[in-house]
Amino acid sequence: MKQVKIGFDDVQLANTVVKPAPYTLIRSYLTNEQQQALIEEAKQYPLARPAVTVYGKRHLIPRSQAWFADKDCDYLYSGLLIKALPWPQYAAKLRQKLQRDFSFVSNGVLVNLYQDGTESMGWHSDDEKEIAAGSDIASLTLGASRDFFIRHKVTKEKVVLTLNSGDLLIMHWPMQSNFEHSVPKRLRVKQPRLNYTFRQLIVGFHQAK
């Protein structure tokens, strides 16, 4: 397991020092066998492509997704309340592995499937109100390699990572407050990519309303 910690050099903005993006990239975190087990399992996931409203216009998201989580961990994501589905076997094993290896606690995982390089995810931060304060987000890539952009919200300084199958990216708190990320279209990519982002939500956040 090769661990690389990379980030921006400190950026001077007026009298403020802007801290580097706090993330850890672990190349080849999963073995080929572990990757294959998840890829096979994902063929049975009830992946959906919901419609979202952006600037008053409804359109289908350019990927498909499923949210697996503990009880009372529904998630309001891109303006849609997604109900928690029960954990599949290998996704649950990966969650346990993250807890064992990094003491990384999560209670839900968003799985995204990008069929090929025409599918993408726009600039955003994972900063929804139900995400537990101070928690990190762990993101695992399977299948096709894709570029992953990180940019500072104020300076617009950008880092480009290429995430390969089996790589794990941990986005540490408070990265989501100061940085956005995206997965841009890459028309040369013809193969599917799966991404699992493990998150920790405040239990019962939506149920309490």
Binding site for ligand AKG (CB under 6 A): 110, 112, 121, 126, 139, 148, 181, 183, 195, 197
| C-beta closer to ligand AKG: residue 104 or 148 | 148
When CB distances to ligand AKG are compared, the closest residue is 195
CB 170 within 8 A of CB 26: yes
Min dist. Cβ of residue 12 to ligand AKG (A): 28
Nearer to ligand AKG, 18 or 163 (CB): 163
The closest alpha carbon to 186, from 66, 62, 70, belongs to 62
Per DSSP bridges, beta strands 11-13 and 16-18 are antiparallel
The least distance separating ligand AKG from the CB of residue 142, rounded to whole angstroms, comes to 10
Q: Toward ligand AKG, which CB reaches closer, 71 or 124?
A: 124
CB-nearer residue toward ligand AKG: 7 or 184: 184
Check if the beta carbon of residue 89 is closer than 8 Å to that of residue 97: no
In sign, the C-alpha dihedral spanning 171, 177, 178, 184 is positive
- Tell me how far CA of residue 198 lies from CA of 14, 111, 116, 153, 156, in angstroms: 36, 9, 22, 23, 26
Q: Which is nearer to ligand AKG, 6 or 13 (CB)?
A: 6
Q: In this structure, which amino acid lies at residue 28?
A: S
Minimum gap (Å) between residue 61 Cβ and ligand AKG: 11
